[in-house]
Amino acid sequence: MPAVTVLGLEGSANKVGAGLVRDGRVLSNPRRTFVPAPGQGFLPGQTARHHRGCVLAVLREALQEAGLEPADVDCVAYTKGPGMGAPLVTVAVVARTLAQLWNKPLLGVNHCVGHIEMGRLITGAQNPTVLYVSGGNTQVIAYSERRYRIFGETIDIAVGNCLDRFARVLKISNDPSPGYNIEQMAKKGQKLVELPYTVKGMDVSFSGILSHIEEVAHKMLASGECTPEDLCFSLQETLFAMLVEITERAMAHCGSQEALVVGGVGCNMRLQEMMRIMCAERGAKLFATDERFCIDNGAMIAQAGWEMFRTGQVTQLEDSWITQSAVWWGTPPDRGRAQQAPAQAAHGTQASESPWQHRRGQLSVRRR
Amino acid sequence: MAGGGGEAGACAVSPPPLQGLQLVQQGAEARLYRGQFLGRAAVVKLRFSKRYRHPALEERLSRRRTAQEARSLLRCRRAGISAPVVYFVDYVSNCIYLEDIVESTTVRDYITSVQQSGKDTSNLFLLAEKIGEVLARMHDEDLIHGDLTTSNMLLRPPVEELDLVLIDFGLSFISGLPEDKGVDLYVLEKAFLSTHPNTDTLFEALLKKYSATSKKSSLVIKKLDEVRLRGRKRSMVG
Ligand SMILES: Nc1ncnc2c1ncn2[C@@H]1O[C@H](COP(=O)(O)OP(=O)(O)O)[C@@H](O)[C@H]1O
Ligand SMILES: [Mg+2]
């Protein structure tokens, strides 16, 4: 089979990236980040404007760095969702235009699938239990009964969202990211402030922690009871312990010997350290990547697109919509019509189902 | 890429003093031993500490979970809900000594074995109803289990009699809120459907019986629907 080169375009949140991947080799992967002022989150309109402003520069950079011409690209992959509507549309329009201009097939990719496929590619993990943690996601996905399934997830807000909103309460800078700054401050924290710890089965809940901290933070700081650094430290210790606990439960449940952490929060070194200790204690192995691949990027979309392209999938122009919805996990191979809702095929049937399925809040994925 | 490795079960805790002591299970957070306690068949659940957690947090959680487990088991028994008798609680080593439900089978193993045998599954529907009924009674006591799975339910022998025993109350708490009860059922639903393929109708039977038994079920089921929807609608940014 000749080499297949895929361009991946990502822009579902505040990062916009273009990556070129050729048969598992990352040729280039530049990106830009929209950084809101301290105390603020990123709004869809502003973020889309940012992406529109630099997406073509990022694309040019990707081609230049890889030393490729448009003719060398076999296929254009883009993030179809989930994510924020306006930024997604911005990037989808670029992908659609390129596909027509260059006369290349188009592929709509699920963002979450991108993170997992990229993590597997970079680390070489075979059958990992995946902890997927980012600004919009908190899931433990494991391989069981011939499928990837969601074993645990947040029942309210994502862990990254909790960190970001905490940063806004303390007016911590968003440059380069709130999570990074919290991590640095946490290193200087001494005192463990008691926070709610909420694990429910294999699920977690973070909204109680956030509202608790929003309520007490300023009082505690004013009275000198603790420092901002102590709060960062305590928040990380508590949130991450919950995440490691549910990952371990899923690993015990599936008898898994590998853990993989992906998503923006996954490049936090304290989280990686805790995961590594947990794995070592159960004779398992941790796989993790650094910020280049943990944080949203174009190469991950290219890699997931490459996997789909290889199995003969393409997205027709009329199907090249985007979706904010967390339910959509992939295009069913038969592609009769664009479907917003997941295929409701019964468990275990193999004929006409999408490899990625989300039913009753349960993702289940047929492995390639 | 980062390598882990190392030997399994690195954490050294001395086993509880018990006659005829035998390690039966090493779970994610506890070791389970079997033996004789004052002449009775007993199991001892020992929570071992997790080195990844801050020691103060670890201490707080172990203590709380051991205490909560003992408290909720008592509450069940007082309400006539079948659960192991608590023989002794050791708060120093975070150990709990319980009645051994001798020769019992987990509901998980039972469902799997019936499904694999290809035998008549009508007994599974009776079992699902039994579970629905017991959980309704538990929730009517404002007791939230916190970790409902089919591994945390035992059947006394002979299994056909469906004598259901609830265990593993470490994550339990007291609450009258429909939200907490709804989430309790949501956790079970996910565990149930992901552990046992093709059991949608079985779980529906469970919920139906729950609704018929519990006095406050309509609000709880409404919350369950809400929590399910939340999972689907949650905006996933980043
Ligand atoms: N009282 C008991 N009698 C008999 N078996 C038990 C008893 N308690 C627990 N077990 C067995 O041990 C397993 C683990 O116990 P559990 O309390 O659920 O601990 P864990 O927190 O590790 O899940 C159960 O699934 C069951 O098979
Ligand atoms: Mg258990």
Is the residue at B12 inside a domain? no
Is the residue at B112 inside a domain? yes
- A358 to chain B: closest CA residue: B232
Q: How confident is the model at residue A354 (pLDDT cuts 50, 70, 90)?
A: very low
Residues B38 and B79 in one domain: yes
Q: Does A133 carry a binding-site annotation?
A: yes
Please give the residue range of the domain that contains residue B200: 105-237
**Are A268 and A136 within 8 A, CB to CB?**
no
Mean pLDDT value of segment A297-304: 96
Is the residue at B72 inside a domain? yes
Q: Does A19 carry a binding-site annotation?
A: no
Q: What is the overall mean pLDDT for chain A?
A: 87
CA distance A272 to chain B (A): 9
pLDDT value for B232: 58
Name the phi and psi angles at B121, rounded to 5.
-95, 10
| Residue A335: closest CA among A349, A310, A317 | A317
pLDDT value for A355: 41
The CA-CA-CA angle for residues B80, B148, B154, to 5°, reads 60
Residues B188 and B220 in one domain: yes
**Which of B2, B8, B228 is the closest to A282 by Cβ?**
B8
Distances in Å between the alpha carbon of A97 and those of A107, A255, B95, B211?
A: 13, 46, 65, 54
Largest CA distance in chain B: 58
Residues B120 and B232 in one domain: yes
Q: What is the CATH number of the domain that holds B159?
A: 1.10.510.10
The total of structural domains in chain B comes to 2
Is the residue at B2 inside a domain? no
- A250 to chain B: closest CA residue: B28
ipTM, interface predicted TM-score of the complex: 0.89
Q: What is the CATH number of the domain that holds B89?
A: 3.30.200.20
- Domain boundary, last residue among B99, B121, B149: B99
How many angstroms separate the CA atoms of A31 and A109, rounded? Answer: 18
**Cis check: omega of the bond before A176, within 30 degrees of 0:** yes
As given in the structure block, the two tokens for residue A57 are 């520069």
B104 lines ligand 1 (CB under 6 A): yes
Chain A residues touching B57 at Cβ < 8 A: 192, 197, 237-238, 241
**Which of A197, A281, A326 is the closest to B51 by Cβ?**
A281
How many angstroms separate the CA atoms of A104 and A91, rounded? Answer: 16
Q: Does A134 carry a binding-site annotation?
A: yes
Residues B168 and B73 in one domain: no
- Domain boundary, last residue among B57, B82, B99: B99
In a 13 Å sphere around the CA of A154, the CA atoms on its Cβ side amount to 30
Q: Look up tokens 């969702």; give the residue.
A: A81
CA distance A71 to chain B (A): 31
Q: How confident is the model at residue B65 (pLDDT cuts 50, 70, 90)?
A: very high
Lowest-confidence segment of A95-109, A132-146, B140-154 by average pLDDT: A132-146
Residues B86 and B154 in one domain: no
Q: Tell me if residue B147 is catalytic.
A: yes
Residues B126 and B225 in one domain: yes
Question: pLDDT digit string (tens) for A313-332?
Answer: 888 888 887 877 665 555 43
**Are A266 and A288 within 8 A, CB to CB?**
yes
Lowest-confidence segment of A110-119, A263-272, A274-283 by average pLDDT: A110-119
- A155 to chain B: closest CA residue: B231
Question: pLDDT digit string (tens) for A140-199?
Answer: 998 666 666 888 999 999 999 999 999 999 999 999 999 999 999 999 999 999 999 999
Q: How confident is the model at residue A347 (pLDDT cuts 50, 70, 90)?
A: very low
Q: Would you list the DSSP string of chain B? A: -------SS----PPP--EEEEEEEE-SSEEEEEEEETTEEEEEEEEPPPTTS-HHHHHHHHHHHHHHHHHHHHHHHHTT---PPEEEEETTTTEEEEE--TT-EEHHHHHHHHHHHT---HHHHHHHHHHHHHHHHHHHTTEE-S---GGGEEEPSSGGG--EEE---TT-EE---HHHHHHHHHHHHHHHHHHSTT-HHHHHHHHHHHHHH-TTHHHHHHHHHHHHHHHHH-----
**B108 Cα nearest atom in ligand 1:** 25
pLDDT value for B8: 39
Prediction pTM value: 0.88
As a dihedral over the C-alpha atoms of residue A65, residue A67, residue A70, residue A74, rounded to 10 degrees, the angle is -100
- Domain boundary, last residue among B99, B133, B156: B99
Is the residue at B159 inside a domain? yes
Residues B153 and B92 in one domain: no
Contact (CB<8Å) B28/A249: yes
Contact (CB<8Å) A241/B53: yes
Q: Is B129 on the interface with A (CB under 8 A)?
A: no
Question: pLDDT digit string (tens) for A189-245?
Answer: 999 999 999 999 999 999 999 999 999 999 999 999 999 999 999 999 999 999 999
In a 13 Å sphere around the CA of A109, the CA atoms on its Cβ side amount to 38
Contact (CB<8Å) A280/B146: no
How many angstroms separate the CA atoms of A142 and A150, rounded? Answer: 7
**Which of B4, B56, B237 is the closest to A279 by Cβ?**
B4
Is the residue at B5 inside a domain? no
Name the phi and psi angles at B56, rounded to 5.
-70, -40
Residues B82 and B123 in one domain: no
Mean pLDDT value of segment B88-98: 93
As a dihedral over the C-alpha atoms of residue A265, residue A253, residue B183, residue B230, rounded to 10 degrees, the angle is 50
Residues B193 and B144 in one domain: yes
Is the residue at B9 inside a domain? no
- What's CA B94's distance to the chain center, in Å? 18
B27 lines ligand 1 (CB under 6 A): yes
Exactly one of B109, B147, B163, B180 is catalytic; name it: B147
How many angstroms separate the CA atoms of A42 and A174, rounded? Answer: 10
Residues B89 and B168 in one domain: no
Q: Is B1 on the interface with A (CB under 8 A)?
A: yes
Is the residue at B223 inside a domain? yes
Q: Does A203 carry a binding-site annotation?
A: no
Residues B161 and B75 in one domain: no
Residues B162 and B229 in one domain: yes
The CA-CA-CA angle for residues B96, B99, B103, to 5°, reads 125
Name the phi and psi angles at B10, rounded to 5.
-65, -20
